[in-house]
């Protein structure tokens, strides 16, 4: 049978239990805005064993059985993957939406400059001896070359800008990998030292880092039997394995115009080049080496083929001195980078009389037959099967389609992520109203237990007064 | 489903951000009149805009060069008209001077008039637009004829694109129309022969030369007729090029421009949506147990 002192002890223990409930509710409320925080719940249980009293048992009060996090494992598994997918499409979309060099009505854009060039060529074809019109061709050719230069450079700068972003994402990923590895160790130690009680706030911190690392790299979390979370890439390479974190670094890739590639340095010193990275890194790579690179390559090809076509025709003509035509455009020896390099022949720039509109050496200065042929390039199909203007329109359309696709995908993925986040939040999130009710409930119990103490105290007092 | 504080805030944030973005977009379209600010806004239209703008510029340049060519052909026609009038007057002089009753003095005076006509015809044919002599062929930096009517130009003919891919000869070969090198009559030779015959008071030569005038006049008239054809084609081309330019610009406008009524309507709609989202958000925050427990 329970003694009065035992009753006091029980009550004290029960007060502590209800205090824990209030404390946990308060902790929940204080973390209502903490990202990745999962609400905690105090599991109360009747203290065992009960005291036997004759034919029955008298209970021994209440104890805290455990303080657990409320997490749904299904949503916890879904969230990092959804976050990675959404981050990938969002990063690609953001990168592509930031490129305005191919806007269809951009003043001084390649499309407008091509049309203006052909116009001036047509004007000289009709009046080849007119020095003002010749100067017009030189000016429009220069404007066209500069337009190619600007557009090519803008696309290159967009890719370089993504390189800078990739560098900082790699650093962030490394920090998170190390954090997860360290948290794996701390969680294991804490759990062992507390007899298996979950170190909830450490688990929250790890979950936050896990989600963020998945968002940045697309790595998938895998939990082993010891409770460690490893982060695995699509190729099977691990960013985090237990207590060990690999390191992502970047290096200029000569095969990709010097743009950054990734290297995964494992804890044992071995490394893997170009690991399959997803998430925000993957999205930025998709944009850099996908739509932007395609536009850059196509623009180079257009500049190269256009300059070749123009030069071939221009060489067939004769300048105002009766000499064969020079190359009108200087475009270098290779197609790669042609858009950024193309320029008007410096000699022609200095002396428009070197333009060669005449079909014959004796037909100068009035014959514009060769420029008539030059103007016909506007209708000629390039090796790609389209005219110069249509080829540029195709570049704009292709880039636009990629940007629109990524934007639509980003919106779709964001909606999916929001749904999963809402489902997860529905389980793990903090409701202030709920916590206030829990606090009131615990407070009421605390008050009642206090009454038990008071009653027990009165009983002791009664006993003490017996003579 | 449990609803938490973060869900309420998140929903409020998402819905207000979405409404604000839609409002911003609608305001941008309504204020700028454009609907495409990035190729991704409408990839197909973006490509079409590039092509449409190039077409408009091409038609515009065809119209410009054709207008200039038309101006030149008008000048050439006027010059040939002057030459035709000179030939007609010279023919009249020749008919009068062929009469044996004419005195040597009258023929000498007529010779002076014909010599002046030769210089006048050369001056008319040295018509110049801008810096070029229209009848000089490719050698258009120098006069086509000297004062005696000797041709200084070449056989070059100007050719022009009058419609996409369609070329047209827009000048005449003066060596043929005036010099008769294609089996015709040398106009200046006819005039020079007449002047010579008048100067030498050679009635027989004057009469013999009379036979050349109808051919010379017809040859010049044929040249004018050819120019008339060219002018007709150029006028048609100019009209067609301007229509093509307008059509191309209209098409670009259709694809690139925002419908102002639709944009204004969407702006109003998105403003209402934002207002509703803000109201809902404010209402959501108002209902809390915190207030009841005070």
Which one of B51, B154, B164 has the shortest CB-CB distance to A393?
B51
pLDDT tens-digit profile of B180-216? 999 999 999 999 999 999 999 999 999 999 999 999 9
The answer to whether the CB atoms of A115 and B58 lie below 8 A apart is yes
pLDDT of A1 above 60: no
Q: Minimal Cα–Cα distance from B66 to chain A, Å?
A: 9
* Closest chain A C-alpha to B249 CA, distance in angstroms: 12
As a whole number of angstroms, the distance between CA B210 and CA B191 comes to 10
pLDDT of residue A21: 96
pLDDT tens, position by position, B246-262: 999 999 999 999 988 98
- How far B230 CA sits from the closest chain A CA (Å)? 15
How far CA A337 is from CA of A9, A106, A111, A293, A456, in Å, comes to 83, 22, 19, 11, 91
Chain A partners within 8 Å of B154 (Cβ)? 362-363
| Mean pLDDT of the region A202-230 | 94
CA-angle at B243, arms to A367 and B238, nearest 5°: 30
Q: How confident is the model at residue B294 (pLDDT cuts 50, 70, 90)?
A: low
Cα dihedral A173, A176, A182, A188 sign: negative
Q: Convert the pLDDT of each residue in A396-443 to its tens digit.
A: 999 999 999 999 999 999 999 999 999 999 999 999 999 999 999 999
Q: Quick check: A393 pLDDT over 60?
A: yes
Pick from A126, A318, A370 the residue to mutate for testing the B interface (most B CBs within 10 Å).
Answer: A126
No. of helices (H) and no. of strands (E), chain A: 12, 13
Residue A272 host element (H or E): strand A271-273
Proportion of chain B above pLDDT 70, given as a percent: 100
Q: For residues A85-109, give the mean pLDDT.
A: 95
**pLDDT for residue B193:** 96
Cβ-nearest to B4 among A364, A378, A429? A429
Kindly state the average pLDDT of the residues A315-323: 94
Greatest distance between any 2 Cα atoms in chain B: 138
Nearest-Cα residue of chain B relative to residue A428: B4
Using the beta-carbon criterion (under 8 Å), do B7 and A398 form an inter-chain contact? no
Q: What mean pLDDT comes out for the span B36-58?
A: 95
Instruction: State the pLDDT at residue B113.
Output: 96
Q: Is A71 exposed, middle or buried (0-12, 13-18, 19+ CB in 10 A)?
A: middle
Which alpha helices (H) appear in chain B, and where do they start and end? 5-32, 43-98, 104-125, 174-177, 187-199, 203-210, 212-256, 260-286, 289-292
Closest chain B CA to residue A406? B40
Distances (CA, A) of B16 to A34, B9, B255: 22, 10, 30
Angular region, A418: left φ>0, alpha ψ -120 to 50, beta rest: alpha
Cα A59 to Cα A14, A42, A86, A454, B107: the distances in Å are: 12, 20, 54, 19, 155
pLDDT at A377 over 90: yes
Q: Do A129 and B141 count as a contact with CB atoms less than 8 A apart?
A: yes
Nearest C-alpha of chain A: how many angstroms from B38?
A: 5
pLDDT (average), residues A183-200: 91
**How close A329 comes to chain B (CA, Å)?**
21
Q: Is the pTM of the predicted complex or chain greater than 0.90? A: no
pLDDT the model gives residue A58: 81
Interface mutation target, options A124, A366, A381, chain B, most CBs of B under 10 Å: A366
Report CB contact under 8 Å: A118, B58.
yes
* A440–chain B nearest CA distance, Å: 10
Q: Which chain B residues are Cβ-neighbours of A376 within 8 angstroms? A: 161, 165
Task: Choose among A416, A409, A408: nearest CA to A81.
Answer: A416
Interchain contact, B167 vs A421, CB within 8 Å: no
Per-residue confidence band for A255, with pLDDT thresholds at 50, 70 and 90: very high
Is the pLDDT higher at A349 or at A364?
A349
Gyration radius of chain B's alpha carbons: 38
Chain B residues touching A127 at Cβ < 8 A = 68, 130, 132
Percent share of chain B, pLDDT over 90: 78
d(CA A41, CA A62): 15
Long-range contacts of B222-230, Cβ-Cβ distance < 8 Å, separation of 24 or more: B222/B177, B223/B80, B223/B172, B223/B177, B223/B178, B224/B77, B224/B80, B224/B81, B224/B84, B226/B172, B226/B177, B227/B73, B227/B76, B227/B77, B227/B80, B227/B172, B228/B77, B230/B73, B230/B168, B230/B169, B230/B170
Neighbours of A454 (CB within 10 A): 11
pLDDT given for residue A2 in this prediction: 62
How large is the average pLDDT for residues A271-282?
94
Region B3-23: mean pLDDT is 88
CB contact set of A286 (below 8 Å; sequence gap of 6+):
A88, A91, A92, A406
pLDDT band with cut points at 50, 70 and 90 for residue B49: very high
Strand B159-163 and strand A271-273: the pairing is unpaired
**Taking a C-beta distance cutoff of 8 angstroms, is the pair B169, B180 a contact?**
no
CA distance B287 to B36: 43
ipTM of the complex: 0.87
Question: B1, B4, B60, B139: which to substitute to probe chain A, counting the most A Cβ within 10 Å?
Answer: B4
Give the CA-trace dihedral at A188, A190, A194, A195, to 10 degrees. 0
Nearest CA in chain A to B70: A126
């Amino acid at each position: 049978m329970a003694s009065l002192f035992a009753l006091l002890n029980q009550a004290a223990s029960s007060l502590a239990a209800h205090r824990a409930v209030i404390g946990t509710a308060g902790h929940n409320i204080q973390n209502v805005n903490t990202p990745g925080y999962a609400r905690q719940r105090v599991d109360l249980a009747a203290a065992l064993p009960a005291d036997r009293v004759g034919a029955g048992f008298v209970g021994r009060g209440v104890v805290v059985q455990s303080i657990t996090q409320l997490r749904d494992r299904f949503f916890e598994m879904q969230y990092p993957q959804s976050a990675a997918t959404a981050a990938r499409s969002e990063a690609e979309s953001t990168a592509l939406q930031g490129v305005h060099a191919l806007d269809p009505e951009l003043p001084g854009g390649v499309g407008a400059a091509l049309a203006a060039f052909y116009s001036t060529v047509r004007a000289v074809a009709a009046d080849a001896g007119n020095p003002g019109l010749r100067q017009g061709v030189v000016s429009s050719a220069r404007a066209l070359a500069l337009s190619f230069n600007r557009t090519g450079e803008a696309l290159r700068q967009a890719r370089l800008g993504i390189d800078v972003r990739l560098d900082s994402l790699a650093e962030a990923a490394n920090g998170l990998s190390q954090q997860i590895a360290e948290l794996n160790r701390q969680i294991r130690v804490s759990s062992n030292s507390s007899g298996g009680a979950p170190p909830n706030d450490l688990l929250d911190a790890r979950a936050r880092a896990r989600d963020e690392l998945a968002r940045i790299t697309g790595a998938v979390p895998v939990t082993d039997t010891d409770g460690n979370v490893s982060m695995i890439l699509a190729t099977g390479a691990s960013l985090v394995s237990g207590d060990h974190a690999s390191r992502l670094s970047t290096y200029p890739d000569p095969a990709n115009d010097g743009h950054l590639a990734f290297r995964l340095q494992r804890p044992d010193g071995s490394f893997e080049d170009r690991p399959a990275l997803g998430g925000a890194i993957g999205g930025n790579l998709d944009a850099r080496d996908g739509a932007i690179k395609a536009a850059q390559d196509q623009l180079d090809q257009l500049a190269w083929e256009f300059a070749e076509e123009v030069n071939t025709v221009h060489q067939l003509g004769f300048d105002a001195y009766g000499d064969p035509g020079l190359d009108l455009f200087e475009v270098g020896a290779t197609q790669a980078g042609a858009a950024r390099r193309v320029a008007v022949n410096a000699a022609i720039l200095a002396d428009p009389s070197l333009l060669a509109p005449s079909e014959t050496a004796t037909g100068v200065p009035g014959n514009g037959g060769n420029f008539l042929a030059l103007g016909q390039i506007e209708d000629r199909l390039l090796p790609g099967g389209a005219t110069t203007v249509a080829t540029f329109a195709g570049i704009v359309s292709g880039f636009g389609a990629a940007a629109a696709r990524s934007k639509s995908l980003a919106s779709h993925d964001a909606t999916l992520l929001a749904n999963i986040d809402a489902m997860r939040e529905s389980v793990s999130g903090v409701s202030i109203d709920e916590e206030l009710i829990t606090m009131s409930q615990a407070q009421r119990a605390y008050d009642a237990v206090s009454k038990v103490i008071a009653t027990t105290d009165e009983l002791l007092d009664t006993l003490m007064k017996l003579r | 489903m449990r609803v938490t504080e973060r869900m309420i805030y998140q929903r409020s944030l998402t819905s207000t951000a979405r409404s604000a973005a839609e409002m911003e977009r609608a305001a941008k379209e309504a204020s700028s009149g454009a609907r495409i600010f990035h190729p991704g806004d409408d990839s197909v239209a973006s490509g079409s805009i590039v092509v449409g703008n190039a077409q408009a510029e091409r038609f515009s340049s065809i119209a410009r060069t054709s207008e200039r060519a038309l101006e030149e052909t008008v000048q050439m026609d006027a010059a040939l008209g002057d030459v035709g009038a000179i030939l007609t007057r010279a023919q009249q002089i020749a008919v009068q001077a062929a009469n044996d009753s004419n005195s040597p003095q009258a023929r000498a005076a007529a010779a002076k008039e014909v010599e002046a006509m030769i210089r006048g015809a050369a001056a008319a044919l040295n018509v110049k637009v801008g810096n070029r002599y229209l009848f000089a062929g490719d050698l258009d930096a120098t006069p086509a004829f000297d004062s005696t009517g000797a041709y200084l130009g070449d056989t070059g003919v100007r050719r022009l694109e009058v419609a996409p891919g369609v070329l047209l000869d827009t000048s005449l070969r003066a060596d043929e129309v005036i010099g008769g090198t294609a089996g015709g009559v040398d106009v200046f030779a006819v005039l020079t022969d007449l002047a010579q015959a008048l100067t030498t008071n050679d009635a027989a030569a004057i009469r013999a030369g009379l036979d050349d005038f109808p051919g010379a006049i017809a040859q010049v008239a044929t040249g004018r007729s050819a120019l008339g054809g060219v002018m007709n084609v150029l006028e048609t081309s100019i009209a067609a090029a301007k229509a093509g330019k307008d059509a191309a610009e209209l098409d670009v406008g259709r694809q690139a421009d925002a419908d102002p009524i639709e944009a204004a309507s969407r702006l109003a709609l998105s403003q209402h949506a934002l207002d509703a989202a803000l109201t809902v958000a404010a209402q959501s925050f108002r209902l809390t147990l915190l207030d009841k427990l005070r």
